[in-house]
A and B are shown apart, each in its own frame.
Chain A
Amino acid sequence: MIINFNRDAWLAVDLVVDILFLMDIIFNLFFFAYKKWNGKIVVSQKRIMFKYLKSWFIVDLIATIPFYLFLHSSTLTELGTVNNLFRIFRFSRVITMTKLLRLIKISADKPNFFRKTQEFLSVHALLSKLLWFFMWAFLAIHLSACIWIFVAGINVSIRK
């Protein structure tokens, strides 16, 4: 199902996701008050901006930059007419992995994850810890499996 998916449809999905991420950056910059270490809430516009620019802005920005648009012309070329020069661009599909940089934000504040899961799912604290473990275990296994298949695909394409 995934393999036969049209590439223009993927492009549309990517654009929607990037627009939502961009909106998230804008909201975090201007609208979202944050909680200080002592539990107080800062509503000052300036402070919210500085806090976000200092903390997570660069990570979010790198994750939001649409690198696939730069690769678009090279990835859309037909397989029969691919030059040796364009084969290099196939390796640069790795650059779409910058989207995963947003996961660092989740891994950075573990207590926030516990609070949110206990709040939304209303589960026990131990269960949310278990969820944390299984989430990262699943992600690590998934990522390593995908990297294996990626490397194997490159190997096959070179052998051909």
Chain B
Amino acid sequence: MEHLSTVELVEKPSRTSSSSLPFALPEKRGVDSFSFVTSSRNTQDDTSSFDSFILRTSADYSKPKWILLPDDNIRRAWELLIVFILIYIAIAVPIRMAFLISESYFLIFLILIFSKKKKKKNQ
């Protein structure tokens, strides 16, 4: 019964260890132990309010359900969709700016180009 209700308050690790592996910790530990880091223990974070809970595990216990972590699959799919739209935007928007001034003007432009080339050949 003791270990069921343990919530470890882990002190803030060094910069290198925390930045390299933020999600590797929960698999190594037991099932019941999950670790939070409160900002009150951090010396560098001056905030001590309750809403500044910072989660270190991918097993989410304190976060609301609608908040998506960076490795969430739905979020990844959404970001992939946005990337595809960005590729489309980056290619299509300049083309449309260039060519859709009007359709007939573009044809005139093409005719002018080819006619001038023929004149140069004749000269």
Task: Give me the interface of A with B, judged by CB distance under 8 Å.
Answer: 2-4, 7, 10, 17, 20-21, 24, 27, 30-48, 79, 90, 93-94, 96-97, 99-100, 102-103, 106, 116, 120, 139, 142-143, 145-147, 149-150, 152-154, 156-157, 160
Contact = CB atoms under 8 A, between A and B. Distances in A.
Given A35-B22, A39-B19, A120-B80, A154 B101 contact: yes
A154 B109 CA distance: 10
A156 B68 CA distance: 52
Contact of A39 (B22, B69, B103): B22
Contact of A41 (B55, B64, B79, B90): B55
B82 A24 contact: yes
A43 B86 contact: no
A96 B51 contact: no
A96 B97 contact: yes
13 contacts: A4-B103, A17-B88, A20-B85, A27-B75, A32-B67, A34-B70, A35-B22, A35-B70, A41-B69, A43-B55, A93-B100, A100-B90, A149-B98
Contacts of B52: 42, 44, 47
B81 interface: yes
Q: Which 10 A-B pairs have the closest CB atoms?
A: A146-B94, A43-B63, A39-B19, A146-B98, A149-B98, A150-B98, A39-B22, A44-B51, A40-B54, A39-B18
Interface of B: 15, 18-20, 22, 37, 51-56, 60, 62-64, 66-70, 75, 78-82, 85-86, 88-91, 93-106, 108-109, 112
A160 B78 CA distance: 47
A47 B78 contact: no
Contacts of A103: 86, 90
The DSSP consensus for interface residues of chain A is: helix
Contacts of A2: 95-96, 99
A63 to B, nearest CB: 9
